[in-house]
Structure 1
Amino acid sequence: MSINTYLDNLASSLVLSDAEKRGITTSLTSLFSKIDNYFSGVSGKAVFGSYARHTILPRNVDENSDVDIMIIFDNPENHKPQAFLNRIKSFVNQSYSRSEIYQDNPTIVLELSRIKFELIPAYYAYGTINIPDGPSDWRYTNPYEYDKMLNECNQENGYKIKPIIRLIKFWNIKKNYRFYASFEIERKIAEELRFARYSCSSYTDYLTRAFEEIKKLPSMTNTRIDTALNHIEKAQMYESMARDYDAECEIKKVFI
């Protein structure tokens, strides 16, 4: 098996199964219906984050995988986030009394059928979305602007960016002790690899470039990235010598 075939296959294995997708869809449909029936003063609901961007990892790979849900409240009296977090917690306690529920600032986490949903309050002000910056303050966000940037980057690079993001997130779990936040990885790759098509063509090229960009983030983990890059370089060397078995063994060391 070639290096690129291995990387392609591994990236493909890191997508949600059809069963997981059906479970999430069913839970979301029920959850949104319960939200509509329970709350007054809710102007909208939205799924965002890695699930919406199709960069989420399956739960059997990442037990911390979750689906982010924004509940957009009316907030004419400018209440602080904790007031809405309390309302969300009361809702899930009443509607899902047998499920695991806890607050993980600034969200309420609800676990249904081994799927984690993170419910976050938000409100519109002057055409912008505000989400909690801790329990006592709000901050502006525009998740759709980032989603647009990532989608454009992915399309312009032959749809290799999202698979590469999943591979780097998998490496971050398996080899890097989750040092980087998942969104930090996604944002860095999307920002820096927009024009990578001019110097990259294969998954190996893109993976190398992604590691080089991640290495620029503030960290103390550069030796782990160097180790990964060394494995990639050795795998390419073996492949150039027609030692395909050795090349495959070496590229696997990046992740397992």
Structure 2
Amino acid sequence: MTSSTVNTAFQQFMLHAVRLDPDAVRTARSSRDWLIDQIEALPGKDLAFPLLYSEAHIQFGSFARRTKCRELDDIDLMIALMGGGGRYETTIGTTCKVYVPDDHRLAAFRDAFGAVNSRLVINQFIRSLSSVSHYRSAQMKRNGSAAVLDLTSYSWVYDIVPAFLTTKEWNGRTYYLIPDGDGHWKKTDPRVDKSRATAINQNHGGYVLDVVRLVKLWLKRKRGLTLSSYLTEALVLDHYNNSYQSAGRYMDLELRDVLSGMAACITSDVSDPKNIDGNINHLTWNERWAARTTLQEASDACAAACSLESSSQADAISAWKKILGDDFGEY
């Protein structure tokens, strides 16, 4: 695809390479709703499957927050379990143990100490999900936090996370309890992440989500630098949340500035936006400094590409192509 200006090249790149394909999004949302209906029917078909708290199901992750870049590879669903009559207690940090009465449907998933074992619950999800039509395979996610369902009709998988919605705690907050990977449960609240992304994006004219997507795509293609999607998103949102300057529609300038901002922050701890997990920057000290160098070098390359725009659009487009990949376009 050819373009006569950098601005046009970026518009085409965002449309065809960065943002999710609109048809794929529509199909994904429809298939997600269909799958939720299938899961809703499981307690009546399989008496071993836990009872569900339908009103508390929630979509989470980058697809729900509209911060995922191409290609769509997974969709996250949090399926709420009926916890009536049960209780939970916090042990260490955000780790919790859940207890239910003997006559509770979840009693079959208790461990030797009487607590509901989240791994056993996920395994039951995997067994019961095998009855869903168009089923290809299901397995436990490597970190033990979700049942990963692969359906034949789609190119993406579903990460299905069993969860409890708590009652209000002393601070007035409710939380979701999800598997922690070790058989227990941990607190989270994806509602905060979603509302934060939406609010910051709206405060900056609706341009921030595109920047998040662009940075994520650049990271996918940048060898030698691995940042988690969640940390990346937090850093970009922090950059705009703490900036006095509004985001604009020119993605070349935004990418230049946000990469420099990320470089300045990556060597420090990064606070969990949900105010639950504390620091979410788990890079080692050496990894942080290496990431800082890579991010600043990338920002400098973006600045050099921007400076070419006033003298030669062709040279500028060529420079951006080196930064963003072969599908950026030609002059």
Global fold match (TM > 0.5): yes
Q: Which amino acid aligns with 2:127?
A: S
Residue 227 of structure 1 is matched in structure 2 by 297
Q: Which amino acid aligns with 1:33?
A: D
The yes-or-no answer on 1:123 pairing with 2:131 is no
The yes-or-no answer on 1:57 pairing with 2:69 is yes
Q: How far did residue 52 of structure 1 move?
A: 1.0
1:111, 1:81 → 2: CA distance?
21
Instruction: Indicate conservation of the 8 Å contact 1:131/1:140, yes or no.
Output: yes
| Identical amino acids, percent of aligned pairs | 20
**Unaligned stretches of 5+ in structure 1?**
none
The yes-or-no answer on 1:214 pairing with 2:284 is no
**Unaligned stretches of 5+ in structure 2?**
44-49, 87-99, 101-114, 168-173, 268-287, 326-331
Instruction: Indicate conservation of the 8 Å contact 2:19/2:69, yes or no.
Output: yes
1:224, 1:33 → 2: CA distance?
45
The yes-or-no answer on 1:245 pairing with 2:304 is no
Please list, as runs of the form range in 1=range in 2, the aligned pairs for 1:39-54 lying within 5 A after superposition.
Answer: 39=43, 40-44=50-54, 45-54=57-66
1:239, 1:12 → 2: CA distance?
21
- Root-mean-square deviation (Å): 2.1
1:231, 1:129 → 2: CA distance?
42
1:30, 1:146 → 2: CA distance?
25
Summarize the Cα distance change of 1:91–1:232 in structure 2 as closer, same or farther, 3 Å threshold: same
Residue 133 of structure 1 is matched in structure 2 by 180
Q: Which amino acid aligns with 1:111?
A: D
The yes-or-no answer on 1:71 pairing with 2:110 is no
Residue 8 of structure 1 is matched in structure 2 by 11
Q: Which amino acid aligns with 1:24?
A: A
Instruction: Indicate conservation of the 8 Å contact 1:130/1:141, yes or no.
Output: yes
Give the structure with higher Rg (CA). 2
Q: 1:119-157 CA deviation, whole Å, 9 max, x = no partner?
A: 011102223211122132221111111211111111111
The yes-or-no answer on 1:114 pairing with 2:155 is yes
1:199, 1:43 → 2: CA distance?
41
Please list, as runs of the form range in 1=range in 2, the aligned pairs for 1:74-89 lying within 5 A after superposition.
Answer: 74-75=82-83, 76=86, 77=100, 78-89=115-126
Summarize the Cα distance change of 1:58–1:236 in structure 2 as closer, same or farther, 3 Å threshold: closer
Q: Which amino acid aligns with 1:232?
A: C
Q: How far did residue 210 of structure 1 move?
A: 1.6
2:5, 2:204 → 1: CA distance?
21
Residue 38 of structure 2 is matched in structure 1 by 34
Residue 102 of structure 1 is matched in structure 2 by 139
Give the length in aligned residue pairs. Answer: 251
Q: 1:79-103 CA deviation, whole Å, 9 max, x = no partner?
A: 1311221121112223257413221
Q: TM-score, normalised by structure 2?
A: 0.70
Summarize the Cα distance change of 1:29–1:108 in structure 2 as closer, same or farther, 3 Å threshold: same
Shifted more, 111-120 versus 186-195: the winner is: 186-195
2:37, 2:124 → 1: CA distance?
16
Aligned-partner SS, 1:240: coil
Q: TM-score, normalised by structure 1?
A: 0.88
More helix by share: 1
Q: How far did residue 221 of structure 1 move?
A: 2.7
1:205, 1:247 → 2: CA distance?
13
Instruction: Indicate conservation of the 8 Å contact 2:266/2:291, yes or no.
Output: no
